[in-house]
Chains A and B, each alone.
Chain A
Amino acid sequence: MGSAGLSRLHGLFAVYKPPGLKWKHLRDTVELQLLKGLNARKPPAPKQRVRFLLGPMEGSEEKELTLTATSVPSLVNHPLVCGPAFTHLKVGMGHRLDVRASGVLVLGVGHGCRLLTDMYNAHLTKDYTVRGLLGKATDDFCEDGRLVEKTTYDHVTREKLDRILAMIQGSHQKALVMYSNLDLKTQEAYEMAVRGLIRPMNKSPMLITGIRCLHFAPPEFLLEVQCMHETQKELRKLVHEIGLELKTTAVCSQVRRTRDGFFTLDSALLRTQWDLHNIQDAIRAAAPQVASELEKSLGPQLDTKELPSREWSWESQGPSSTLVPERGAGH
């Protein structure tokens, strides 16, 4: 009976990581909840074992002995003796989020851990909302860090902010093209670039594919950032640099991931939903989209090499001309 539940527990799903929780603790909590659900099933019927007892044969005058087989219950399979049926599950983690950040976090269970590698190799972009606070600077770019500097911000206007964001996007666009090792002189590459669908398929520093200001109410401002190969610390540093560009200072008060590849906020499971049934449903709901998106992202390369894992060696051989279109939900 436990195997029925376990068989549905292979695949990818997304959780919403709340702020203040370490990603490792999250992973352990999810594993514990899954094990709890799997071990809650009915224990098997008690095993019997056969013992041969010596006893007198029925209806014999001279006390002849014979062995009779009796089935006695055995305690070997009793749950108090052998413990819980499941003690470990393979739960893998996608792109990490640090302690202070929150948002969509992709996890894989069982065979889904293999798909995590595929997702990583697909190099899809991610969406963040970043909340900034003008007027102070700290050492770790966060609101509660050690204060380094305090400045005024009355001169900051929405137009100045938009101008700076546009500058950032432009420079990152150039970097995008450079890191994707594309020969822009070809017609297909040019068309892709015009449609904005180029991205590097190997390691690169943080690249911002899109950035805009959603809300500006000094000292607070809210940005929406689409990026890839980022860390949350680099996003906070970005806020700090925006402050510097605006000739003031800024710290980051919230980093929240709203989309990771094709997993969005709607499909992310909240803390109260981290149990066996919800996770099984989430895996089942996400499975078709996962399969199709990964095939699209990794598809064109599949005829040049047999296994997706070979992509690493293929890229290391030389410049990879990748014309993989970006089909994430962000565009």
Chain B
Amino acid sequence: MALSAQQIPRWFNSAKLRSLINAVQLTKCFARPGRTLLHGFSAQPQISSDNCFLQWGFKTYKTSSLWNSSQSTSSSSQENNSTQSSLLPSMNEQSQKTQKIPSFDSELFLEELDELPPLSPMQPISEEEAIQIIADPPLPPASFTLRDYVDHSETLQKLVLLGVDLSKIEKHTEAANLLLRLDFEKDIKQMLLFLKDVGIEDNQLGAFLTKNHAIFSEDLENLKIRVAYLLSKNFSKADVAQMVRKAPFLLNFSVERLDNRLGFFQKELELSVKKVKKRREFVYFYVCKFTFMLTANKRKLTETFDFVHNVMSIPHHIIVKFPQVFNTRLFKIKERHLFLTYLGRAQYDPAKPNYISLDKLVSIPDEIFCEEIAKASVQDFDKFLKTL
């Protein structure tokens, strides 16, 4: 289906072309359909993210098209990658799929620009030329969402297939701009292989990258050094994998910062847990299983601790055995404790009969808690809650 000549002026307007050079480029684009056209209109995104838009500037549009036309068909793709690495490679790949058409532009060179008359939209053109016009709607030069670019960017498509949540990344403009500029084959693939090396599974890569999108701006060498440092601290590969999975930003810290944090936690946790012998196991255990405690809000921790120790009268050594009480919401502990007190079943001393352990208090769901621990129905529990 050949495009009518009426579509061309619309195209002109939407692209805001203004000068002779742009018109000439269009001619070239008509003559070399497919690849050149897409290149010409997919000007690379600007590096600067001065406002909250993903910038696809038309600044270097002219240079890119001129470069294209002066190269041969086969070598232009490599040239583009090397000279303007921020050009979307997807255009290359898509256009390479289309059949290589004999170029008509051998007679059009840079020197002839000035002599060439401007193309009039009313000029009749042959069927072959008409058929080779591709007038896809141009990509928006700036946008607040990656939706507009996902169909035209192989990088973004591959990331979506991996499971990366683009709607979360597009809220951070620097990361989004970075993703648009990166080449999947060159940059992202290396990063993914490195992450797989560290031990993150394929199906976890998406979640990891969504959380830590800033990792693409990190130097691969630095990341390798940090992983080597962690391994040197006698963490096994599986340990490091789990640590990185649970705390995705761990790899973004510099080695000094990692060192400081590990030392701090070793000191802190040593004071409260005296029985654990091996330091390595203990740091791994706490960092991985209870990462929430290290990142938790201090006020909430102290409130929970105050309630558990003072109101429920549970001594320190029992609290230490069940650190997961600090992970549950305080209201849950309060409600259940008050219900048990109301029923007269609040017995937390292991020596006495009818002892209720703290982990049973907090971690089991409501129905089982009511039936087995409190020996009451869920309706009774609800009625009690409405009297609080």
- A interface, CB within 8 angstroms of B: 16, 18-21, 49, 52-56, 65-67, 69, 74-76, 78, 80-84, 102, 256, 265, 268, 270-272
Contact = CB atoms under 8 A, between A and B. Distances in A.
Contacts of B147: 76, 81-82
Given A52-B134, A272-B366, A75 B34 contact: no
A55 B164 CA distance: 34
B340 interface: no
Given A54-B98, A78-B160, A83 B167 contact: yes
Contacts of A78: 150, 160
B366 A54 contact: no
Contacts of B1: 52, 67, 69
A48 B59 CA distance: 32
A77 B366 CA distance: 38
Given A65-B101, A75-B157, A81-B147, A54 B167 contact: no
**Per DSSP, are chain A's interface residues mostly helix, strand or loop, or mixed?**
mixed
Interface string B156-174: 1100100111111000000
Interface in B122-169: 128, 131-132, 134, 145-147, 150-151, 156-157, 160, 163-168
Interface stretch (B46-54, B281-289, B380-388): B380-388
A81 B167 contact: yes
B331 A55 contact: no
Contact of B167 (A21, A52, A55, A80): A80
A190 B334 CA distance: 51
Interface in B2-45: 2, 33-34
9 contacts: A49-B151, A55-B99, A65-B132, A74-B151, A75-B151, A81-B160, A83-B165, A256-B388, A272-B366
Contact of B385 (A56, A66, A270): A270
B2 A268 contact: no
A160 to B, nearest CB: 27
Interface residues of B, number: 35
Contact of B151 (A54, A76, A268): A76
Nearest to A84: B167
Interface in B301-340: 331, 334-335
Contacts of A52: 1, 134
A40 to B, nearest CB: 16
Among B98, B128, B156, B166, max chain A CB count under 10 A is at B166
Contact of B131 (A49, A65, A84): A65
Nearest to A73: B151
Interface of B: 1-2, 33-34, 97-99, 101, 128, 131-132, 134, 145-147, 150-151, 156-157, 160, 163-168, 331, 334-335, 366, 382, 385-388
Nearest to B1: A67
Given A55-B98, A75-B157, 11 more contacts: A18-B388, A53-B97, A54-B33, A54-B98, A56-B99, A75-B150, A76-B147, A80-B163, A80-B166, A256-B388, A272-B366
Contacts of B132: 54, 65
Contacts of A270: 382, 385-386
Contacts of A18: 331, 335, 385, 388
Contacts of B145: 82
Contacts of B128: 65
A102 B388 contact: yes
Contacts of A16: 385-386
Nearest to A52: B1
A65 B335 CA distance: 75
Contacts of B334: 20
B8 to A, nearest CB: 16
A83 B168 contact: yes
B207 to A, nearest CB: 11
Contact of A81 (B150, B382, B386): B150
A82 B98 CA distance: 29
B99 A21 contact: no
Contacts of B382: 270
